[in-house]
Amino acid sequence: MKPINSIVRNKLFAFFLFICVTVCAAIPLNTIPSGAVTTDTKINLKYTVNSDSITLTWNKITHEKGVKGYYVYRATTSGGQTILPETDFWITGTSYVDKKVTPGTTYYYIVKPVLSDGYTGKASNEVKVYYQGGTSYSITLKAKVNTGNITLEWDVNGDRSNILGYYVYRATRSGKQTDLPETDFWVTGRSYKDNKVEPGTTYYYIVKPVLKDKTVGKPSNEVSAKCQRIYGTISMTLGERKMIVNGKKVDIDPGKNTVPVLKNARTMLPIRALIEAMGGTVDYVSGEQKVTVKWGGKTVCVWIGKTTFTVDGVKKTMDVAPYFSETGRTMLPMRFIIENLGCDISWDGETYTATVSYLLNHDDNYPQTPPDDSDESWAGIWFTNRGKLKITQNGIYVEGTYGNGNEIEGIISGDKLIGTYNEKGASGNLEFVISSDGESFKGKYSQKSKSSKREWQNWDGQREEDNFIKYLRKLDKPADFSGTWSIKSIGKLNIEQKNNRITGTLGSKERITGTVSNNKLTGTYTKGNKTFNIEIYMLEGNKRIIGHYGDSDTAMQNWSEFTGEIHKNSNDKPDRNKEKLNQH
């Protein structure tokens, strides 16, 4: 038998357990406040660096003795905190802002709980914080597209003494840079040249400083730059010993004087000179009399005396066979080889010249001496026989748009713009030659015909000129066009102006709306069922105006011009200066 006191103990324990379960079951769940109970017993310390302070934050914990608050401890060496906290009172919350910080200093913080018996509990994790401090720095990043690379340059505003160097980060989508920099070392200067670029790709860059404690600071602004597809040209003329490679004359076959010739209505040439000038390779296997041409990822194989050839292993046929020249050079049909490498070739029947256009793929093949950045000879709006063309220029590179989202891009070599166009999914090559006064260009573009060959068409343009910009005056406030103006070619123009916005009427149907800046009114002119762009300038004396109007497809120099005077019966606004004189 169990002892009596043991039985009593068991009964008492069972009764006590019953009471606890009953009481807990009787308490509604919604009487327990949310978040009132926490099981955290360890402090997790975090930090944020501000321009003038360091903010520490931590979680609230529980302890069997109870927690009255928290003490913050600081040191300038790891583990060097003393028993003296940063404040002479405990902190009842879970954050602390340290404003007693010195720029260029690394601090080590811990936090301890203050228990109800007055003693401190177990310390938090230690955090290491580098305070840049003082005047906060900012990095301004710029990108420049060069021949075959993109150069980044940046300025640092503020104290640079705590910066060891810089990391460059790159992505092909805005804001998608990873934590992996472009180099495994930091850049000690304030510029970086990115040679690992692909033609036709837009890159997005940021720069971050490496601070003295080897941490990475806040980033610069993001910049983008597009490495364009860059095309070169090589011209060969029948009977000529030299070819023109991107504007530079070089020998086709030094020492042997091999020249392009015409055979069976096909231009035959020593292919090695052309392909190597393009950056490709030519190999010859004498036992098979086989010539292998490689360029741009494609391989073309031909055999001496045979009209069959292969392109990447696919068999094709041409109408003239390769042969050996009298100088011992392998002569191949130019058009068959070039077009099957994915390049374009054009023929000028007047000069007997064949011109190859190809994508440049190596630094050594780029045109010589790009123009200065300040030379914006091609930038602007051009009115062409293929529509309005807007060109932007960055050094040697140009980009443009025309029509409904059609694009051109290319490079400048001398007085030529050489490049490509993309229109409704179709693409081709183009070549423009600018006039000596820079006001027009003569050009051509390649277009596929029904025979799947490239035919060259004219593409000429005239630069838009604003002949009225000379009338622009800089004023402290917008000129007042209010009133009635007598215009011979248009009629009486009534204008109402509120602040810098105007509305105008000519008769019952014609309307003018727009805004005023300085002495210039810019807006639209509705005449019947047509709407034109219009510009009007207030001349000195505020009694006469001059202007012009036209549609978006007409160059400004060809717009209709007009002049006008304030109508005699118009209620002129009083001259405030005269009023002041009369008062005196």
Residue range 52-75, pLDDT digits in tens: 889 999 999 999 999 999 999 999
Contact between 321 and 315 (Cβ < 8 Å): no
Q: Are residues 265 and 284 in the same domain?
A: yes
Tokens at 575, concatenated: 């001259």
* 264 located within any domain: yes
Strand order across the 223-227 sheet: 163-171, 201-211, 223-227
Is the predicted pLDDT of residue 466 greater than 50, yes or no? Answer: yes
Residue 148 in any domain: the answer is yes
- Give the three-state DSSP class for 365: helix
335 and 238 in one domain? Answer: yes
> Does 122 fall in a domain?
no
DSSP 439: S
Is the residue at 158 inside a domain?
A: yes
Instruction: Find the farthest-apart pair of alpha carbons in the chain and give their distance in angstroms, rounded.
Output: 131
What is the domain-level CATH number for residue 496?
Answer: 2.40.128
- Rounded distance, CA 391 to CA 434, Å? 13
Three-state secondary-structure class, residue 328: coil
Position 309 confidence tier, pLDDT thresholds 50, 70, 90:
very high
Specify whether 215 is located in the same domain as 235.
no
Would you say residue 251 lies in a domain?
yes
Q: Where among 405, 434, 463 does a domain terminate?
A: 463
Whether residue 384 sits in one domain with residue 500: no
Do 243 and 338 fall into the same domain? yes
Helix (H) or strand (E) holding 146: none
Q: What phi and psi, each to the nearest 5 degrees, are found at residue 338?
A: -65, -50
Model confidence band, residue 200 (pLDDT cutoffs 50, 70, 90): confident
Tokens of 464: 């838009």
Nearest CA-CA partner of 227 in 403, 417, 363: 363
Say whether both 249 and 330 belong to one domain: yes
Residue that is last in its domain, among 364, 390, 423: 364
- Domain membership of residue 480 (yes or no) is yes
Kindly state whether residues 477 and 387 are assigned to the same domain: no
257 in the same domain as 160: no
- pLDDT tens profile 10-58: 555 555 555 554 444 444 434 334 334 446 889 999 998 887 889 999 9
Q: Do 554 and 502 lie in a common domain?
A: yes
Question: What is the number of domains present in the chain?
Answer: 4
Q: Are 550 and 556 in contact (CB under 8 A)?
A: yes
Do the domain assignments include residue 581?
Answer: no
Looking at residue 449, what is its pLDDT? 56
Return the pLDDT at 58. 95
**Confidence at residue 369, expressed as pLDDT on a 0 to 100 scale:** 44
- Cα 139 to Cα 25, 45, 133, 167, 186: the distances in Å are 63, 30, 16, 12, 15
> CATH number, domain at 383?
2.40.160.90
Each residue's pLDDT tens digit, 515-548 = 999 999 999 999 888 999 999 999 988 999 999 9
| 294 in the same domain as 356 | yes
Average pLDDT over residues 301-319: 92
Tell me the residue ranges of DSSP E strands in 416-474.
416-423, 426-434, 440-448, 454-458, 461-463
Contacts of 349 (CB under 8 A, 6+ apart): none
Looking at the fold, whether 326 and 216 belong to one and the same domain comes out as no
Residue-wise pLDDT tens digits, 236-277: 888 888 998 877 788 888 877 788 888 888 888 888 888 988
Q: How many CB atoms lie within 10 A of CB 363?
A: 11
CATH code (residue 195): 2.60.40.10
Q: Are residues 373 and 360 in the same domain?
A: no
279, 305, 320: which is closest to 291 by C-alpha? Answer: 305
How far is it, in rounded angstroms, from Cα 330 to Cα 339?
19
Last residue of a domain, one of 331, 364, 397: 364
Query: Which residue range forms the structural domain that includes residue 440?
Result: 369-463
Q: How many angstroms separate the CA atoms of 387 and 553, rounded? A: 7
Domain CATH code at residue 295: 3.30.457.10
292 near 301, Cβ under 8 Å?
A: yes
What are 303's two structure tokens?
A: 């055999």
Cα–Cα dist 228/354, whole Å? 25
Cα–Cα distance for residue pair 115/318, rounded to 1 Å: 95
What is the model's pLDDT at position 258?
Answer: 83
- Asked, for residue 119, whether it belongs to a domain, the answer is no
